[in-house]
Chain A
Amino acid sequence: MILDSKIPEGALAEKWDKHKFNVKLVNPANKRKYDIIVVGTGLAGASAAATLGELGYNVKAFCFQDSPRRAHSIAAQGGINAAKNYQNDGDSIFRLFYDTIKGGDYRAREANVYRLAQVSVDIIDQCVAQGVPFAREYGGLLANRSFGGAQVSRTFYARGQTGQQLLLGAYSALNRQIAYGKVKMFPRTEMLDLVMVDGKARGIVVRNLITGKVESHSAHAVVLATGGYGNVFFLSTNAMGSNATAAWRAHKKGALFANPCFTQIHPTCIPVSGEYQSKLTLMSESLRNDGRVWVPKTVEIAQRLRKGEISVNDIKEEDRDYYLERKYPAFGNLVPRDVASRNAKLMCDEGRGVGASGLAVYLDFADAIKREGQPAIAAKYGNLFEMYAKITDENPYEKPMRIYPAVHYTMGGLWVDYNLMTNIPGLYATGECNFSDHGANRLGASALMQGLADGYFVIPYTIGDYLAQTPYDKVSTDHPAFKEAEQNVKATTDRLLSIKGNRTVDDFHKALGLLMWDYCGMARNAEGLQFAKQEIRKLRDEFWQDVKVTGVNEELNQTLEKAHRVADFLELGELMVDDALHRNESCGGHFREEYQTPENEALRDDENFAYVAAWEYAGTSGNPILHKEELKFENVKLTQRSYK
């Protein structure tokens, strides 16, 4: 298989404009002859469904939540980047492009990232026009703040709830199209298979989560906007329902899965408190604008602290190690996420971690409160401080926050070309679901940007190009391909229900999560990965022999829903391990202990690994087949990332 990224010819800055002119158009009156399925209603899905509806296509949108407004984009806190240069501090489209490519440790496509930076400015205009209440200055114009990995202030925000406000904007646009009848919405409906006819994506099979009914939907194209797969780790900042099932089942039908081992471990999350823990809560990266990260200077002080012999506020200034400021004077506390996470782990590995478990570092606001006063800090981060206090029962205005890295985002995903189409004709992947823009590490405030860029401004053009070359003919859901997919879904469900074993789904999920965290988490090595692969296979075999799923299919059955998702995580986990094992270099969030600089930074191997690893499914017992897409860098020079 030859992977054609379909990157347009020409100079970087002209590619997208030229491409938009060259793509084929569908006449307005003919758009209503095409049906499009959009799965997922987060930023990428809701924006795509709304915009495609506005253009005149017939859209069917699906989400597993009870309303499209609940998609997990809603939980994004800090902000959205855009190269507006409203602050007059030297920002530009090229700088946003450059920061993103460098932040991703040179493992993303130049053309995609440049386009992302270009349309970023349109996103802000669009959201403001919808009535999204971004933060403003007293003069009435928009405010900005800084985020990690950038030296300009280009992040637009709505207090600590930017994702909520952007999603509600996209949701409102979606609602408008639902009211017009251009989008038909299917909440509480989960995609369980992709249907292909003559090698093209022509529909999906879903399960109605209230009645259990398995149904088919036919269309001319299918867009997957189903988010990331961070929940493979069980504990993550993802929502409980976030899952990989739609993407994974498309993968099993032939869609390549790219760079699955590129996962982002976010440095500032509330540490784990006990075995019952169901999820981890993020504290926005924006807090690193004012919070200073530190640990005690010596192991001995840290030990006394952990035993409760001294309290954090007893530790003298000279006994504190502000290690990010010390090691990276240029970026200080605002180094990119992978660097901040790895350093927190290093400190804890040295025995200087804090909190009862020793798996935490401090994020301290004392200086900022002294400098600006408590009301000013509360105005910026009030809701985050409240959330922290509710969860930990500690007051972050008086005591520094305890934080530790946690799984947050997955840069890997379905392989797509420049048009966001997977290798299956007619199947698109947008937002976190695809792999395309963030390389090996995503910068803060770039996920919202990518989700909305894909949905509002990219796919509306590129899908038209495909449809213009597709006949109007519809495929009936009575077609054998639909019937076969329905049978497969029913058979998997029956199998899950009939095992009647002894271990619960959550029990398997937690066991998988621990394996992934220990061996395929913040630091990986060949030996550990080989061990994890064997263990995951064993766990998967055990799952299919001993899982306990109660109830029946024909009802609201949350255990059955979870079982389908965990079955897929058990396969995806192994692919992540395979990918991590094959990539004999460190880059961004993928840190192989064997490959590091003397200063413990990620050591890339550009000669051998400057490519996208796109994996082809080869059955549960076979080994996946690797396809490589070489990455060409014509506009940036590959260097060792330095934030010193």
Chain B
Amino acid sequence: MDLTLKIWRQKDKNSAGQLVTYPLNGISPDMSFLEMLDVLNEELLVKGEEPVAFDHDCREGICGMCSLFINGRAHGPERGTTTCQLHMRHFNHGDTITIEPWRAAAFPVYKDLVVDRSAFDRIQQAGGYVSVNTGGVPDANEIAIPKTIADKAFDAATCIGCGACVAACKNASAMLFVSAKVSQLAMLPQGKVERKTRVENMVAQMDIEGFGACSNTGACAAECPVGISLDNIAMMNREYLGAKASSENVA
């Protein structure tokens, strides 16, 4: 199939960017979206032009490195799919495809389609863990956890940290991302000891990073490639209120 691509090109953090149009022909429907970009980049290289920078790594939908805002949708038109798992069979011959980076104040553009998502790491550093050192822990089967709870915690824990939720949100809110970790650990007995300080500290860091407020439109969950549920946001709100009502952040 033949396509017209409109791709955001931006030299670096401090430069202004713009959409640049590239025709691209002979694309196979079995290619992944990123393989289609590989083909474009090889063509650009052969012509001596600078290839398009984009983040990608595992190409199997789990590392969360790939991003891309495709025709106004985070990770493109297929629900429940990362860009690397999106295949060209979902597009048609003659289509014009607009490709932009994630847009959020907290995710500044490094170059072209590559953004800085280190804010996510800093939120996790604020409390996304159980404070245990290596060694000296009880036997794994001493902590019995009901299967239903373990499964729910697992569902929250599958977040890949790609940032699609932020990109999809009109307020660029990170609530879905933060709530996935908060509720995973709040549900499990191992995480209960620190549940109050955790949610307070992670939410505080989220605000410092400049993510917007949540207005419950649900765009984040609709665009999440791994199906993180809005229930997590509800649970985090409850956790947060409870924590603020009887804060253990006394230090």
User: Which chain A residues have a beta carbon within 8 Å of chain B's beta carbons?
Assistant: 47, 50-51, 54, 65-70, 72, 74-75, 84, 86, 122, 124-131, 133-142, 158-159, 161, 163-165, 168, 171-173, 175-176, 178-179, 185, 187, 210, 239-241, 273-274, 276-279, 281-282, 387, 390-391, 393, 456-457, 460, 504, 506-507, 548, 550-551, 555-556, 558-559
Beta-carbon nearest neighbor of A140 in chain B: B144
B residues near A129, Cβ cutoff 8 Å: 130, 132, 137-138, 143, 190
Interface contact A75-B125, CB-CB below 8 Å: no
A residues near B246, Cβ cutoff 8 Å: none
Question: Residue B140 contacts which of A124, A137, A279 (CB distance < 8 angstroms)?
Answer: A124
Beta-carbon nearest neighbor of A51 in chain B: B134
A residues near B16, Cβ cutoff 8 Å: none
Q: Complex formed: what's the CA distance from A266 to B61 in Å?
A: 19
Q: Complex formed: what's the CA distance from A393 to B55 in Å?
A: 25
Beta-carbon nearest neighbor of B130 in chain A: A131
Interface contact B134-A70, CB-CB below 8 Å: no
Interface contact B137-A276, CB-CB below 8 Å: no
Beta-carbon nearest neighbor of B48 in chain A: A550
* A-B CB proximity, top 6 nearest: A140-B144, A172-B129, A129-B137, A133-B154, A128-B140, A239-B57
Q: How many A-B residue pairs have CB under 8 A?
A: 211
A residues near B179, Cβ cutoff 8 Å: none
Q: Complex formed: what's the CA distance from A548 to B43 in Å?
A: 12
Interface contact B157-A66, CB-CB below 8 Å: no
User: Which chain B residues have a beta carbon within 8 Å of chain A's beta carbons?
Assistant: 11-12, 28, 30-32, 34-35, 38-39, 42, 45-46, 48-51, 53, 55-65, 81, 85, 87, 89, 110-111, 114, 116-118, 120-121, 124-126, 128-135, 137-141, 143-147, 150-151, 153-154, 157-158, 160-161, 184-185, 188, 190-191
Interface contact A75-B63, CB-CB below 8 Å: yes
Given the interface pairs A125-B140, A136-B145, A550-B49, the reply to whether A66 lies near B118 with Cβ below 8 Å is yes
Q: Return B49 CB to nearest CB of chain A, in Å.
A: 7
Q: Return A177 CB to nearest CB of chain B, in Å.
A: 9
A residues near B137, Cβ cutoff 8 Å: 125-126, 128-129
Interface contact A70-B56, CB-CB below 8 Å: no
Beta-carbon nearest neighbor of B29 in chain A: A393
Beta-carbon nearest neighbor of B126 in chain A: A179
Interface contact B190-A128, CB-CB below 8 Å: yes
Given the interface pairs A125-B140, A276-B28, A393-B87, the reply to whether A210 lies near B45 with Cβ below 8 Å is no
Interface contact A274-B53, CB-CB below 8 Å: no
A residues near B31, Cβ cutoff 8 Å: 274, 276
Interface contact A558-B62, CB-CB below 8 Å: no
Interface contact A276-B39, CB-CB below 8 Å: yes
Q: Complex formed: what's the CA distance from A622 to B114 in Å?
A: 41
Question: Residue A69 contacts which of B81, B87, B145, B161 (CB distance < 8 angstroms)?
Answer: B161
Q: Return B43 CB to nearest CB of chain A, in Å.
A: 10
Given the interface pairs A54-B133, A136-B147, A387-B85, the reply to whether A558 lies near B58 with Cβ below 8 Å is no
Interface contact A165-B157, CB-CB below 8 Å: yes
Q: Taking chain B's interface residues, is the majority helix, strand, or loop, or is none over half, making it mixed?
A: loop
A residues near B111, Cβ cutoff 8 Å: 555-556
Given the interface pairs A390-B81, A548-B45, the reply to whether A65 lies near B147 with Cβ below 8 Å is no
Q: Return B180 CB to nearest CB of chain A, in Å.
A: 11
Interface contact A136-B150, CB-CB below 8 Å: yes
B residues near A276, Cβ cutoff 8 Å: 28, 31, 35, 38-39
Q: Return B20 CB to nearest CB of chain A, in Å.
A: 16
B residues near A559, Cβ cutoff 8 Å: 45, 51
Beta-carbon nearest neighbor of B39 in chain A: A276
Beta-carbon nearest neighbor of B120 in chain A: A67
Interface contact A130-B42, CB-CB below 8 Å: no
Interface contact A178-B125, CB-CB below 8 Å: yes
Interface contact B46-A504, CB-CB below 8 Å: yes
Q: Complex formed: what's the CA distance from A550 to B129 in Å?
A: 42
Most buried by B among A278, A456, A548, A555: A278
B residues near A277, Cβ cutoff 8 Å: 35
Question: Residue A556 contacts which of B45, B60, B114, B124 (CB distance < 8 angstroms)?
Answer: B114
Interface contact A506-B42, CB-CB below 8 Å: yes
Beta-carbon nearest neighbor of A160 in chain B: B62
Given the interface pairs A67-B117, A278-B34, A506-B38, the reply to whether A158 lies near B154 with Cβ below 8 Å is yes
Question: Residue B58 contacts which of A72, A140, A504 (CB distance < 8 angstroms)?
Answer: A72
Interface contact A130-B154, CB-CB below 8 Å: no
A residues near B59, Cβ cutoff 8 Å: 239-240, 278-279, 281
Interface contact B140-A140, CB-CB below 8 Å: no
Q: Complex formed: what's the CA distance from A173 to B85 in Å?
A: 30
Question: Residue A390 contacts which of B48, B64, B87 (CB distance < 8 angstroms)?
Answer: B87
Interface contact A130-B190, CB-CB below 8 Å: yes
Interface contact A457-B28, CB-CB below 8 Å: no
Q: Return A401 CB to nearest CB of chain B, in Å.
A: 15
Interface contact A159-B57, CB-CB below 8 Å: no
Beta-carbon nearest neighbor of B45 in chain A: A504
What are 7 of the A-B contact pairs (CB < 8 Å)?
A: A51-B133, A69-B121, A130-B190, A136-B147, A141-B141, A172-B124, A555-B12
Given the interface pairs A70-B63, A171-B124, the reply to whether A550 lies near B50 with Cβ below 8 Å is yes
Most buried by A among B50, B64, B129, B143: B129
Q: Complex formed: what's the CA distance from A559 to B188 in Å?
A: 44
A residues near B12, Cβ cutoff 8 Å: 555-556
